[in-house]
């Protein structure tokens, strides 16, 4: 009775604050309508499930959805918006905490394999045709995902001024789209490294299929094990430093600096926290992601990332936020996964489908609301001996030709 009383109070408070196209069906036959003509329905089949709502947070609500303690029908985006507003409007405000996880090579490899080695087929159900698993770049509202992802690849390679013959390294190369683009369109000698066996095998076969064996290679390897005796002209790290860990950022950027030629360029593209102290996301979102989706992930505030880049010996020359682009990208990914529901469940199971559906919709919401951001930081080495010119022109005009 106490849980039911508190649940009713929470719903009444939310209903008074905003109108959602949602109804809640309770085990006792009662229906709670938050607005006329609801498009989303949450069914609570047992009174014990009320514990996930009292008090609510995104970790508890996500667990209830993923583990089947509640059932939901309708738009996954509206479902997450309801959860977000419920937590923001009803739950007590709590300060996000620090995690400072240990990141051994073995632990990092295990986390990467958990996240990426679901199956290539599963990822293909919501990614674009090139299998680019990072923020797209929309030059126009009408851009389809495939085009926006190609634009993102070109945006990175243009910022880096990749030219024929350049040695190019992609740290955490995913399914190989960036190294293939660098070799095919820009004439680079491209190399990718990944800890995911599925990705490694996919990229190896892609390179062979595209006839790029003479210009493109991939390794199943930790970037920390790359030799520093053969530095690169250009380095990109896209969607990888979220795996590194806050305490490991000095070593991460230090290794990249050691792998870069003195006149080289590096671009770090990664998700950042909106909390200036780099604390974990509030309302339990971080805990849910760590448990179900992205083990051991930690995201710094931009200021921390830039500080560590400078401390490692870099001069940061350009910083660009792609937050709105990632909100749209995740929204499209969630929709594409939903449209392939039957195949996704067949490929990865009902539970993983629910995990990824709510995760992608949640990311779209989080980027749109500004809970998190994503930045591209372009840098060169800070020391410029007399007589050596900067690898960059005086203006940014070259990026947008």
Is-catalytic flag, 380? no
Interhelix angle for 285-292 vs 350-369, to 10°? 150
Q: How far apart are CA 338 and CA 350, in angstroms?
A: 12
The one catalytic residue in 135, 216, 363, 380 is: 363
CA distances in angstroms from 220 to 95, 202, 238, 290, listed in the order given: 39, 11, 17, 24
Q: Is 334 helix (H, G, I), strand (E, B) or coil?
A: helix
56 in Cβ contact with 87 (< 8 Å):
yes
Closest listed residue to residue 233, CA positions, set 186, 169, 182: 169
Token readout for 297 is 């992930």
How far is 356 from 347, CA to CA, in rounded Å? Answer: 13
Alpha carbon separation from 161 to 168, 220, 234, 391 (Å, rounded): 11, 27, 8, 9
Contact 55, 48 (CB under 8 A): no
Q: Which residues pair with 32 in a beta bridge?
A: 24
Query: Coil, helix or strand for 136?
Result: coil
Task: Please list the active-site residues.
Answer: 363
């Amino acid at each position: 009775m106490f849980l039911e009383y508190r649940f009713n109070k929470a719903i009444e408070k939310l209903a008074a604050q905003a109108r959602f196209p949602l109804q809640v069906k309770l085990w006792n036959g009662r229906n709670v309508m938050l607005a006329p003509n609801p498009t989303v329905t949450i069914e609570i089949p047992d009174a014990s499930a009320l514990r996930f709502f009292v008090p609510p947070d995104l970790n508890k609500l996500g667990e209830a959805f993923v583990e089947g303690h509640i059932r939901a029908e309708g738009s996954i985006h509206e479902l997450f918006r309801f959860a977000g507003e419920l937590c923001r409007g009803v739950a007590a405000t709590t300060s996000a905490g620090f995690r400072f996880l240990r990141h051994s090579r073995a632990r990092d490899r295990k986390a990467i394999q958990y996240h990426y080695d679901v199956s290539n087929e599963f990822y293909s159900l919501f990614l674009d045709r090139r299998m680019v698993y990072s923020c797209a770049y929309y030059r126009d509202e009408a851009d389809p995902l495939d085009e926006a992802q190609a634009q993102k690849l070109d945006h990175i390679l243009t910022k880096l001024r990749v030219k024929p013959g350049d040695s190019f390294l992609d740290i955490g190369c995913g399914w190989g789209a960036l190294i293939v683009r660098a070799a095919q369109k820009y004439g680079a000698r491209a190399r990718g490294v990944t800890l995911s066996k599925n990705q490694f095998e996919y990229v190896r076969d892609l390179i062979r299929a595209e006839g790029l064996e003479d210009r493109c290679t991939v390794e199943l390897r930790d970037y920390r094990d790359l030799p520093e005796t053969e530095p690169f002209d250009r380095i990109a790290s896209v969607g990888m430093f979220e795996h590194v860990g806050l305490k490991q950022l000095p070593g991460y950027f230090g290794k990249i600096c050691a792998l870069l030629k003195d006149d080289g360029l590096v671009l770090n593209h990664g998700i950042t926290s909106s909390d200036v102290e780099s604390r974990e996301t509030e309302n339990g979102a971080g805990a849910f992601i760590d448990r179900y989706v992205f083990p051991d992930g930690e995201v710094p505030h931009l200021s921390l990332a830039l500080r560590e880049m400078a401390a490692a010996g870099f001069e940061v020359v350009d910083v660009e936020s792609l937050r709105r682009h990632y909100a749209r990208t995740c929204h499209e990914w969630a929709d594409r996964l939903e449209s392939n529901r039957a195949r996704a469940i067949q490929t990865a199971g009902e539970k993983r489908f629910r995990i990824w559906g709510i995760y992608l919709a949640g990311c779209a919401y989080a980027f749109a609301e500004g809970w998190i951001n994503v930045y591209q930081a372009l840098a060169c080495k800070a020391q410029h001996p007399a007589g050596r010119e900067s690898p960059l022109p005086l203006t940014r005009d070259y990026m947008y030709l």
